[in-house]
Structure 1
Amino acid sequence: MNITFSWQGFAIASAIFAAMTAILGKIGVANINTNLATLIRTIVILMVTMAIVTARSEWQKPTGSTWIGWTCLIASGVTTGLSWLCYFRALQMGPVSVVAPIDKLSVALVMIAGWILLGEPMTIKGVVGGGLVVLGSLILLF
């Protein structure tokens, strides 16, 4: 079975999995140390990713990347881990219906970084949509 998604399809799938992650994570961290929960989650992600790479025969020597690319991938791993640690702790302490939307302030931050750092086009649709994300998160936060 060969399923082909556009970037939009993958983005929607990501949102669905992220929603499931929040609910399952909230239940999962109810009676466990959040740092240990993050470690367990990370091991599972490693195993699933290795299985996918193996199933798709995508193991290869990583070539063609620059030191900047490697540095960014490593930094991305560090920031992902820190994000997960904070997210699970927030889920343990607060309601998932508020924690998850506030976590999505990252959407607006990524939009701003895309415009400033990556030179992506700033559109009125992007500004309004990002502003609504921020407004919604602030309403939930306060």
Structure 2
Amino acid sequence: MGWLMYALLSAVFASLVAILGKIGVQNVDSNVATAVRAVVMAGATIAFITFQGTIGQIKQIELKPLMYIFISGLAGAASWMFYFGALKLAPASKVAPIDRLSIVFTILLAAIFLKEKISFGIIAGVLLIVFGSILIVRA
């Protein structure tokens, strides 16, 4: 399976997170809901890599990559705490487009820190994402 299929499946499952998460936080504290979700994710991920046969690779991760993975985990936790908090307060159809502005931030940060190239097409796409998010939220 190629990167595009993985990315499309990621998008489909991310949409389910918004819908199921919105239903789940209706009568539950959003931080508690996020904690439960994180435990489920950890268990499912460990089961997946165990089934895949790659769980032993955890102990082979060197310190520097491990540090970045750890910090990435903290960023992900913060993202989900705020995401579920927003879902508690607003419709999923408004929260998701704002959350997807992460695309814009990722492109900017990738250019700054990873030295990835930004073409005219990327700039145009970023502007469309920003304006599209604004249109959806204002509708």
TM-score, length of structure 1 as denominator length: 0.90
8 Å Cα contact 2:46/2:55 also seen in 1: no
Deviation at 1:126, TM superposition (A): 1.2
Unaligned runs of 5+ in 2: none
Report how many residues are paired: 137
1:52 equivalent to 2:48? Answer yes
In the alignment, the residues of structure 2 paired with residue 80 and residue 46 of structure 1 have an alpha-carbon distance, to the nearest angstrom, of: 13
Distance 2:115 2:128 in 1: 22
SS in 1 for 2:55: coil
Q: Residue 76 of structure 2 aligns with which residue?
A: 80
**Paired amino acid for 1:48:** A
Q: Which amino acid aligns with 1:39?
A: A
Contact residue 53 and residue 59 of structure 1 kept, 8 A: yes
Alignment of 1:55-70 (within 5 A): 55-61=51-57, 62-63=59-60, 65-67=62-64, 69-70=65-66
* Compared CA separation, residues 47 and 14, structure 1 to 2 (3 A): same
Residue 141 (structure 1) shift: 4.1
Q: Which sits farther off after the overlay, 119-128 or 92-101?
A: 119-128
Partner SS for 1:60: helix
| Distance (whole Å) between structure 2 residues aligned to residue 7 and residue 124 of structure 1 | 23
Residue 105 of structure 1 contacts residue 137 of structure 1 at CA under 8 Å; is this kept in 2? yes
AA partner of residue 110 (structure 1)? T
Contact 2:97 2:137 in 1 (8 A): no
- Is the 2:22–2:87 Cα contact (8 Å) retained in structure 1? yes
Cα offset, 1:89, TM superposition: 0.8
**Residue 115 (structure 1) aligns with:** 111
C-alpha RMSD of the superposition: 1.4
**What is the aligned partner in structure 1 of residue 90 from structure 2?**
94
Provide the rounded CA distance (Å) in 2 between the counterparts of 1:72 and 1:134. Answer: 28
Question: Identity of counterpart residues, as a percentage?
Answer: 35
Q: Corresponding residue for 1:17? A: 13
**Is 1:35 the equivalent of 2:40?**
no
- Quote how far apart the aligned CAs of 1:123 are: 1.6
